[in-house]
Structure formats: C-alpha cells, structure tokens
C-alpha cells in the first residue's frame, strides 16, 4: 500500500510539474486575461445602461454585501481539461441588485464554442448564495458556499433534458488570483473531465 501511495504521489507530482511548465497553458491564460479585460469594459457599459434604464441597479451596494456575493465584479477563468486535453476560458460580470439579490452575465468557453451565462441570485448568508437562470446557455441552478476564508465550493446543475453537474473548488492565493480545480461532468461516473486552472477576480 505504501509503495502504491508513493507511486501515485510521484505520478501526481509529475503531472503538476508538466502543467505548470506548459507553455500553451501560459499563453492561454494570458489571452484569457486580455479578453477578460476587454469584455469587462463592455460589461461595465452594459450594466451602466441597464442601471439607467431600470432605475439604479447596483446602487447602494454595501461592502458587506459585496463580500458575500460570489465573484463580485469581473471574474475570469483560464482552465485546462486534463482528461480531454482541451482549454476553456470563462468570463463573468457579477453585480448587486436590490435587497439580497444579485445578477450575473457572462460567456462560457469564450472563443471556442461560446455560450452564455445569464443568472439572478440571492445571498442566503455571509457564506452561502444561490443562483438561477442560464448557465452555458442552458437552464440551471447554482450554489456557492465558502467553507473557510479563502476557499469556496461552487456547483452548477444545468441541461434539464440531460442533467450535467459541474463541481469546482476555488482557492484564493493573494489579491485577485486563485487556483481552480473541479470536474466538468460529475454525473459521468469514472469518466469525469477534470479541470484545473487560474481564477481571477477584479
């Protein structure tokens, strides 16, 4: 058992080292950050227009509420599917609404097979939030839970006709940057697509 455990650890270490030195992943991350910055300006303009039209969306949001809303502001993920060997880039913009509500607009798999996120949400408490609406252009619900400071789990259940569950954990390192890990299709038994990558929030 000890030999098997050491072999698994060695294999995992080699995989992490290979991922960390992958030039294509680094290039993908840089491209994602650039696209996110450009999309952020467009999203801010859109939110401003919505705010003017509907009478003050995102106004009067306290610092406490901002802290309780998952990924408040602009967020981007540069992801690598270790199972299929594919890259994925996601971008979202999240802003507060009235009371405990918030809203999220975004792009899923940006630049490849781009789909849309359009969700409303509600803050349950300082550590928990629920989301509902479109995820990857499919009807779904989402759940976010902060387990300990700096670490949050997030789940999205979508595609009513063929249910798909995406589970992920986000570990904040310092400032706006964090590490992302999870599975794209948690219902797929042993054939789950494992995702790793960088999470960025501004």
Q: 88 with 195: CB under 8 angstroms?
A: yes
Tell me how many degrees the CA angle 103-107-112 measures, rounded to the nearest 5: 170
pLDDT value at position 48?
61
Distance set, CA 47 to CA 41, 59, 94, 110, 113 (Å): 10, 11, 10, 20, 24
Question: How does DSSP classify residue 69?
Answer: S
CA atoms within 13 A on the CB side of 34: 7
Tell me how many degrees the CA angle 201-187-154 measures, rounded to the nearest 5: 20
Task: Provide CB contacts within 8 A for 12, sequence distance 6+.
Answer: none
Q: What is the 3-state secondary structure (H, E, C) of 10-43?
A: HHHHHHHHHHHCCHHHHHHHHHHHHHHHHHHHHH
Long-range contacts, 173-176 (Cβ 8 Å, 24+): 176/200, 176/201, 176/202
Distance, in Å, from the CA atom of 33 to the CA atom of 146, rounded to the nearest integer, reads 25
Distance set, CA 147 to CA 133, 151, 154 (Å): 24, 6, 11
Backbone angles phi, psi at 62, to 5 degrees: -75, 160
pLDDT value at position 143?
96
Q: Three-class SS of residue 58? A: coil
pLDDT value at position 192?
84
Which residues are paired to 123 by β-bridges?
A: 129
> How do the pLDDT tens digits run along the chain, 202 residues long?
556 555 655 655 555 555 555 666 666 666 666 665 666 566 566 656 655 655 445 555 778 888 889 999 889 888 888 888 888 889 999 998 888 899 999 999 987 789 999 999 999 998 999 999 999 999 999 999 999 989 999 999 999 888 999 999 999 987 788 998 999 888 887 778 899 988 989 8
pTM over 0.85: no
pLDDT value at position 39?
60
pLDDT value at position 18?
58
Question: How does DSSP classify residue 179?
Answer: E
pLDDT value at position 63?
81
């Amino acid at each position: 058992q000890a030999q098997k455990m050491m072999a698994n650890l060695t294999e995992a270490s080699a995989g992490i080292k290979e991922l960390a030195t992958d030039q294509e992943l680094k290039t993908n991350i840089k491209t994602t950050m650039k696209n996110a910055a450009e999309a952020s300006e467009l999203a801010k303009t859109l939110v401003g227009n919505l705010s003017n039209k509907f009478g003050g969306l995102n106004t009067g949001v306290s610092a406490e509420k901002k802290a309780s809303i998952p990924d408040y502001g602009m967020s981007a993920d540069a992801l690598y599917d270790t199972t299929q060997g594919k890259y994925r880039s996601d971008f979202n913009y999240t802003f507060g609404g009235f009371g405990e509500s918030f809203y999220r607009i975004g792009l899923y798999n940006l630049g490849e097979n781009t789909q849309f996120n359009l969700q409303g949400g509600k803050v349950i408490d300082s550590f928990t939030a629920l989301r509902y609406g479109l995820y990857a252009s499919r009807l779904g619900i989402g759940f976010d839970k902060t387990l300990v400071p700096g670490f949050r789990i997030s789940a999205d259940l979508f595609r009513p006709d063929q249910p798909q569950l995406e589970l992920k954990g986000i570990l904040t390192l310092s400032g706006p940057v964090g590490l992302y890990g999870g599975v794209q299709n948690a219902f797929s038994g042993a054939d789950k697509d494992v995702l790793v990558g960088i999470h960025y929030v501004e």
